[in-house]
């Protein structure tokens, strides 16, 4: 067996410890003679798995009792619609556009009400986070929406927007559990797990109880009725059982490492190694304004397409995979999520140094 350092933006690297545990339990989960993949979602065995996953997530993030935790399906992309359908009481919401995912969420919201773009960084290819200290938040906005970490562009909010008392909704797909957050500052925190937590197919929605409504529009599909999903504790229908099981293992992995404070310290250390190198490199250059850099996704360029293709190819040969940048940014991108070990980032920087010397 040989494992590469996988810098994929998603689905992405998972902790080896978790994969090994899952492997050991694959055929016979704790003496029940079957795999978690094969068991009824109504069984007490599975109930224990989902309850424990929720309890561990609540503990890790410090989720208050008046927030519901849902494990759903459909991709973050489905919930671009779920959010406005459930939260647009006045039919108005404000969106801050910091990349393609925020833009797609805004486009979706436009179908269900009046979605205002109140700030954007599209003028500079989303290479920064706009100043959100005094935005023209709409008087009747039901919520203000952000994409907290911009997976494609490598920017991240280091200060939350001033929503002027409105509810904050955040897509945290690519920075979920990368560090502590104050849940009470949000009305909804949601995201897919395939970047930083588990296999694709699971979405986690953390929503303040009082935002769940009985008076949803008729057209809202049953599966997108968050109040119903909360009442049924994510078991209205068959949930993504195996994915939830792996997420639960990752929660425990993070707890064992010391929780979200420790995770953040680890992530900061990893990112610093790469950013410090980029800041001093004569060949490579980061694409993001310094103060808005993401701890998770690090895009960089050489500025010469052939040289960049050569870099990605040779990196792959050296066991450093999935470094090609997103087509809209070009160049390279290293996603260094929670499960990327320090050694992976060190290996990448050592390789970049060598490449720089050879191609000076």
Active site amino acids: 101, 171, 195
- 171 touches ligand PLP by CB under 6 A: yes
**Shortest reach from residue 122's CB to ligand PLP, in Å:** 16
Q: Which of 75, 179, 259, 330 binds ligand PLP (CB under 6 A)?
A: 75
Counting other chains too, the contacts that 137-140 makes at CB distance below 8 Å and 24 or more residues apart are 137/94, 137/163, 137/164, 137/166, 138/92, 138/94, 140/90, 140/92
Q: How many angstroms separate the CA atoms of 84 and 131, rounded?
A: 24
How many residues form the binding site for ligand PLP (CB under 6 A)? Answer: 12
Which residue, 194 or 225, is less far from ligand PLP as judged by CB? 194
Which residue, 29 or 192, is less far from ligand PLP as judged by CB? 192
**Shortest reach from residue 240's CB to ligand PLP, in Å:** 12
Closest CA to 254 of 117, 56, 112, 108: 56
Which residue, 174 or 225, is less far from ligand PLP as judged by CB? 174
Which residue, 298 or 352, is less far from ligand PLP as judged by CB? 298
Assess contact for 153 and 127: CB atoms under 8 A.
yes
Q: Which of 76, 283, 288, 302 binds ligand PLP (CB under 6 A)?
A: 76
Nearest residue (beta carbon) to ligand PLP: 75
| 38 C-beta neighbours (distance < 10 Å), count | 12
**Shortest reach from residue 357's CB to ligand PLP, in Å:** 34
Residue entry with tokens 């895009």: 299
Which residue, 287 or 311, is less far from ligand PLP as judged by CB? 287
Q: What is the DSSP string of 14-51?
A: --HHHHHHHHHTSSSGGGSSS-GGGS-TTSHHHHHHHH
Residues within window 305-344 making contact with ligand PLP, judged by CB under 6 A: none
**Shortest reach from residue 72's CB to ligand PLP, in Å:** 11
- One symbol per residue from 235 to 274: x for binding ligand PLP (CB under 6 A), - otherwise; what is it? ----------------------------------------
Q: Which of 8, 47, 77, 281 binds ligand PLP (CB under 6 A)?
A: 77
Which residue, 82 or 174, is less far from ligand PLP as judged by CB? 174
- 121 touches ligand PLP by CB under 6 A: no
| 219 C-beta neighbours (distance < 10 Å), count | 8
Q: Which of 5, 6, 7, 10 binds ligand PLP (CB under 6 A)?
A: 10
Assess contact for 217 and 173: CB atoms under 8 A.
no
Between strands 285-286 and 203-208, the pairing is unpaired
Instruction: Please report how many Cα atoms fall inside a 13 Å half-sphere around the Cα of residue 292, on the Cβ side.
Output: 22
Which residue, 86 or 174, is less far from ligand PLP as judged by CB? 174
- 195 touches ligand PLP by CB under 6 A: yes
* Complete edge-to-edge strand list for the sheet that includes strand 332-335: 285-286, 297-301, 332-335
**Shortest reach from residue 162's CB to ligand PLP, in Å:** 22
Tokens of 114: 């009046």
Counting other chains too, the contacts that 211-219 makes at CB distance below 8 Å and 24 or more residues apart are 211/86, 211/87, 211/167, 211/187, 212/68, 212/86, 213/86, 213/89, 216/85, 216/86, 217/85
- One symbol per residue from 127 to 156: x for binding ligand PLP (CB under 6 A), - otherwise; what is it? --------------------x---x-----
**Shortest reach from residue 191's CB to ligand PLP, in Å:** 7
**Shortest reach from residue 350's CB to ligand PLP, in Å:** 28
The phi and psi torsions of 345 (rounded to 5 degrees) equal -70, -40
Please classify residue 60 by burial: count the beta carbons closer than 10 Å to its beta carbon, then call 0-12 exposed, 13-18 middle and 19+ buried: middle
Which CA distances in Å does 256 have to 17, 172, 259, 263? 11, 22, 7, 10
Q: Which of 6, 98, 163, 174 binds ligand PLP (CB under 6 A)?
A: 174
Residue numbers at the binding site for ligand PLP (CB under 6 A): 10, 75-77, 101, 147, 151, 171, 173-174, 192, 195
């Amino acid at each position: 067996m040989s494992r590469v350092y996988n810098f994929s933006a998603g689905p992405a690297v998972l902790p080896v410890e978790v994969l090994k545990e899952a492997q050991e339990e694959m055929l016979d989960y704790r003496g029940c003679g079957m795999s978690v993949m094969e068991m009824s979602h109504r069984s007490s065995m599975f109930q224990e798995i989902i309850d424990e996953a929720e309890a561990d997530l609540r503990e890790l993030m410090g989720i208050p009792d008046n927030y519901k935790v849902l494990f759903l399906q459909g991709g973050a992309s489905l919930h671009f619609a779920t959010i406005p359908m459930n939260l647009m009481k006045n039919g108005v919401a404000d969106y801050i556009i910091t990349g393609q995912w925020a833009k797609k969420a805004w486009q979706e919201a436009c179908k269900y009400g009046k979605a205002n773009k109140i700030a954007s960084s599209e003028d500079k290819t989303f290479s920064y986070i706009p100043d959100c200290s005094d935005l023209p938040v709409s008087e009747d906005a039901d919520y203000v929406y952000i994409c907290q970490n911009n997976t494609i562009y490598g920017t991240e909010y280091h200060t939350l927007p001033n929503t002027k008392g409105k509810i904050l909704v955040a897509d945290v797909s690519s920075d979920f559990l990368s560090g502590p957050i104050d849940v009470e500052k949000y009305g909804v925190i949601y995201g897919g797990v395939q970047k930083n937590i588990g296999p694709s197919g699971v979405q986690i929605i953390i929503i303040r109880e009082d935002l769940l409504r009985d008076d949803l529009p008729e057209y809202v599909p049953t599966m997108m009725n968050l109040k119903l999903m909360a009442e049924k504790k994510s078991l209205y229908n068959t949930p993504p059982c195996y994915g939830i099981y792996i997420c639960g293992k990752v929660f425990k992995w993070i707890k064992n490492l010391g929780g979200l404070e420790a995770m953040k310290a680890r992530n900061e250390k990893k990112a610093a190694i790469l950013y410090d190198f980029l800041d001093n490199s004569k060949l490579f250059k980061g694409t993001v304004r310094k103060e808005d850099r993401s701890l998770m996704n690090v895009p960089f360029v050489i500025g010469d397409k052939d040289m960049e293709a050569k870099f990605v190819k040779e990196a792959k040969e050296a066991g450093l995979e999935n470094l090609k940048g997103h087509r809209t940014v070009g160049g390279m991108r290293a996603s260094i999520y929670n499960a990327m070990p320090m050694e992976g980032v060190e290996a990448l920087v050592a390789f970049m140094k060598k490449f720089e010397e050879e191609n000076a």
